[in-house]
Amino acid sequence: MDQKVKNGRFYKCPICSSDKIAFLNGFEKLYLVKCNTCSFIFDKRVPTEQELNEHYKVYAYSKLKPLPELTKVSYNKLLDSFEQYRKTGNILDIGCGQGDFLVEAKKRNWKVYGSEYSKAAVNLCINRNINMHQGQLTNKVFSGVDFDVITSFEVLEHLNNPNEFMSVAQNKLKSGGLFYCTTPNFNSILRNFEKDKFKMILYPEHISFYTKKSIENLGETHNFYSKKTMTTGIDLGRLKNVFKRDKQSNNAQDDMVKLKQTNETIRNLAGSNPLVGIIKNIINFLLSIVSKGDTLKVYWIKK
């Protein structure tokens, strides 16, 4: 059992092992605590295997879902920025889903590797000619392969053992290589408005929460330096709901569909209208300056 856990609860910080943790003001009923040493915010509860199985059984990878064209464009812009790190041409995506990002990388002659927990997702990726591992990534997986770039899209918030995750990434990355990671930003504008209704707090799925300060501390602990940390994006559909008198309907599923449609409309408009695209870039720039965007994006370099 983890030396920081007693009776299914953390009593020490999972990252720095400090016992100087206290319930986060306003989030006590959600069991959120903050480490006063490294600033990490996390759920004090440790999900059981039964809780995780019950929660994740609703996720299915029965067939490939279409990749929106704008997401494809975004992936290729990101891959453009990765070119300067290409040496062996090996790239690893941890928690790669159905492998869309790696498919785009493969088109650019990267040698692609991925990991996923879902057997169905792994099979989809194998059928797309991606070298895959099912289950938790360890130092023994893909033994002998050094990676120029490792990516992790929206994975860290699911983990209550970030040190183990970071150690494996550090071990597999070449010296001077890039680890690109995204995760929800706990200091986002929306969290300030939604407070304890913040939609990123979702036990047992989302159990770790990062700010610019705490995620940079995490990287430094594992021999990375943060070349760049950005906080971009804002869910305008949710922001709109904050200011509505009737903030929720009687059907949560309908609410989520409407939010998705609103955000997709705005995203398509930004992609097709140059002026809207410029405005979006300006907003993202300002959100990053004040560290209030929805998503943390970290470019870690292995020392």
Classify the phi-psi angles of 176: left when phi > 0, otherwise alpha if psi is within -120 to 50, otherwise beta. left
pLDDT tens digits for 29-50?
A: 999 999 999 999 999 999 998 9
> Two tokens at 217?
């501390």
Mean pLDDT value of segment 147-172 = 96
Which residue would you say has higher pLDDT here, 90 or 246? Answer: 90
Instruction: Write the CA distances from 4 to 12, 16, 22, 30, 155, integer angstroms.
Output: 5, 10, 15, 20, 22
Using pLDDT thresholds of 50, 70 and 90, give the confidence band for residue 279. Answer: confident
Phi, psi (5° rounding) for residue 248?
-140, 145
Length of the chain: 303
Helix axes 252-272, 69-82, angle to 10 degrees: 60
pLDDT tens digits for 46-71?
A: 999 899 888 877 777 889 999 989 89
- Reply yes or no on whether the pLDDT at 268 is more than 70: no
Residue holding tokens 């949560």?
252
pLDDT tens digits for 202-248?
A: 999 999 999 999 999 999 999 999 999 999 998 877 887 777 744 55
What pLDDT was estimated at residue 238?
A: 82
> Two tokens at 141?
């997986």
- Reply yes or no on whether the pLDDT at 251 is more than 80: no
- pTM above the 0.85 mark? yes
Enter the CATH code of domain 49-302.
3.40.50.150
- Reply yes or no on whether the pLDDT at 175 is more than 80: yes
Instruction: Write the CA distances from 118 to 62, 70, 200, integer angstroms.
Output: 11, 26, 22
What pLDDT was estimated at residue 294?
A: 96
Mean pLDDT value of segment 1-13 = 85
Cα 247 to Cα 241: distance, rounded to the nearest angstrom: 5
